[in-house]
């Protein structure tokens, strides 16, 4: 594109050309554009000079477009419509939009969060396309680079109950969707159940058991492991899995303890006869957060999808809290 040459062209001339092509009369075109015939004739002369074509010949019935003008007539409406759209304030029409949006989600949030917003969102914007991706090691960078529009992941709280966002890139904004805490699942014959019943379930008993762990972003250790490490303690992790449903399966068929966010428990228990027992020591909460690039904060389409996700999750937790937990 020779963009420097565009600066020599008055784009208003394209509007004049379109009206001349529609009216095929200098008189009618001048009236429609609210200019004098003399001024319009001068504009037509400039058009002929820029486009190096006579564009029209005069006949008894008005102006007759040249072959080149007829070719331009096929392209001008779409071009002018595009220019018009460029001058409009940004907007988003969910009923008619066919835009694509991508969301990288932490695997533990799939079962809990996705059902709460996917229905309402697609009901109001049935033509949009949603690509749901797994949250992985490079997902934060993908958000920074604009490769995905949204991310849903977990962030821990610190000792002062402040969200640990120090490592969150400056380019990203966030909103807390809901807070969660860790709990434990065991099979229905696990020895720990007797300790819970006898009120003897404590950290020593917890650490004496074998454990399974779901890795996240390639990390084997969670906040719980770093918290225990501060006290020179650690879990005996026997099995590491890539997803929570796999973790639930292994838990159901072994004596391994599965420590996981409370919100996933009902989904695991729908598949396997697992028992929930408390984590026998205090651990800070974590939050599921929605992430997006700050540059998209005021973009109407992103804003609409973001509000739909946040409002739908909020309504689901308010109206059906027992099912989520």
Q: What is the pLDDT of residues 224-243, one digit of tens each?
A: 988 899 899 999 999 999 89
Q: List the beta bridge partners of residue 260.
A: 183
Segment 186-203 shows an average pLDDT of 96
Q: Could you give the dihedral angle defined by the CA atoms of residues 270, 214, 176 and 151, in that order, rounded to the nearest 10 degrees? A: -100
Contact 57, 44 (CB under 8 A): no
Whether 193 has a pLDDT exceeding 90, the answer reads: yes
| Shared domain check, 241 and 189 | yes
Q: Which of 244, 297, 227 is nearest to 135 (CA)?
A: 244
Residue 68 domain flag: yes
Q: How confident is the model at residue 60 (pLDDT cuts 50, 70, 90)?
A: confident
What local confidence, expressed as pLDDT, does residue 12 receive? 87
| Shared domain check, 191 and 142 | no
Q: How confident is the model at residue 3 (pLDDT cuts 50, 70, 90)?
A: low
| Shared domain check, 110 and 78 | no
**Residue range(s) defining the domain that contains residue 312:** 100-160+298-324
Of 52, 85, 118, the residue at which a domain comes to its end is 85
Contact 103, 148 (CB under 8 A): yes
Question: Which CATH number fits the domain that encloses residue 128?
Answer: 3.40.190.10
Residue 93 domain flag: no
Whether 144 has a pLDDT exceeding 80, the answer reads: yes
What local confidence, expressed as pLDDT, does residue 165 receive? 83
pTM of the model: 0.70
Residue 188 domain flag: yes
Residue 232 domain flag: yes
Of 85, 119, 144, the residue at which a domain comes to its end is 85
The residue whose two tokens read 């969707």 is 177
Whether 1 has a pLDDT exceeding 80, the answer reads: no
Of 85, 116, 135, the residue at which a domain comes to its end is 85
| Shared domain check, 238 and 148 | no
Residue 314 domain flag: yes
Whether 103 has a pLDDT exceeding 70, the answer reads: yes
Segment 310-325 shows an average pLDDT of 69
What b/e sequence results for 256-286 when a residue is b if at least 16 CB atoms lie within 10 Å of its CB, and e otherwise? bbbbbbbbbbebbeeebebbbbebbeebbeb
- For residues 82 and 283, the model is more confident at 283
Q: How confident is the model at residue 88 (pLDDT cuts 50, 70, 90)?
A: low
Residue 107 domain flag: yes
Segment 244-252 shows an average pLDDT of 95
Question: Which CATH number fits the domain that encloses residue 57?
Answer: 1.10.10.10
Contact 155, 164 (CB under 8 A): yes
Residue 166 domain flag: no
Q: Strand 257-261 and strand 182-187: pairing?
A: antiparallel
| Shared domain check, 242 and 194 | yes
Q: What is the pLDDT of residues 105-122, one digit of tens each?
A: 988 888 889 989 999 999
Q: How high is the mean pLDDT of the chain?
A: 89
Number of structural domains in the chain: 3
Categorise residue 146: left if φ over 0, alpha if ψ from -120 to 50, beta otherwise: left
| Shared domain check, 308 and 266 | no
| Shared domain check, 265 and 308 | no
Q: What is the pLDDT of residues 262-279, one digit of tens each?
A: 999 999 999 999 999 999
Residue 293 domain flag: no
């Amino acid at each position: 594109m020779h963009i420097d040459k565009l600066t020599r062209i008055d784009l208003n001339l394209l509007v004049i050309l379109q009206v001349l092509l529609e009216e095929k009369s200098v008189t009618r075109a001048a009236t429609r554009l609210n200019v004098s015939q003399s001024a319009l004739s001068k504009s037509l002369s400039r058009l002929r000079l820029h486009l190096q074509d006579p564009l029209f010949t005069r006949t008894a019935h008005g102006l007759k477009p040249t072959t080149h003008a007829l070719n331009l007539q096929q392209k001008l409406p779409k071009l002018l419509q595009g220019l018009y759209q460029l001058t409009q304030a940004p907007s988003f029409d969910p009923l008619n939009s066919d835009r694509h949006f991508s969301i990288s989600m932490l695997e533990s949030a799939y079962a809990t969060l996705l059902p709460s917003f996917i229905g309402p969102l697609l009901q109001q914007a049935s033509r949009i396309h949603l690509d749901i991706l797994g949250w992985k090691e490079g997902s934060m960078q993908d958000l920074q680079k604009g490769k995905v529009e949204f991310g849903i992941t977990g962030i821990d709280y610190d000792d002062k109950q402040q969200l640990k966002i120090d490592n969150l890139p400056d380019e990203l904004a966030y909103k807390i969707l809901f807070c969660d805490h860790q709990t434990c699942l065991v099979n229905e014959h696990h020895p720990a159940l007797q300790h819970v019943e006898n009120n003897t379930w404590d950290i020593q008993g917890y650490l004496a058991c074998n454990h399974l762990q779901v890795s996240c972003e390639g990390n084997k250790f969670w906040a719980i492991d770093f918290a225990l490490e501060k006290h020179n303690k650690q879990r005996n992790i026997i099995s590491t899995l890539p997803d929570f449903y796999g973790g639930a399966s292994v838990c159901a068929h072994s004596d391994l303890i599965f420590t996981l966010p409370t919100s996933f428990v009902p989904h695991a228990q729908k598949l396997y006869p697992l028992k929930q027992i408390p984590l026998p020591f205090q651990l800070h909460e974590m939050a599921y957060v929605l992430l997006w690039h700050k540059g998209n904060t005021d973009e109407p389409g992103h804003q609409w999808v973001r509000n739909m996700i946040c409002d739908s999750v909020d309504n689901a937790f308010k109206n059906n809290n027992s099912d989520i937990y």
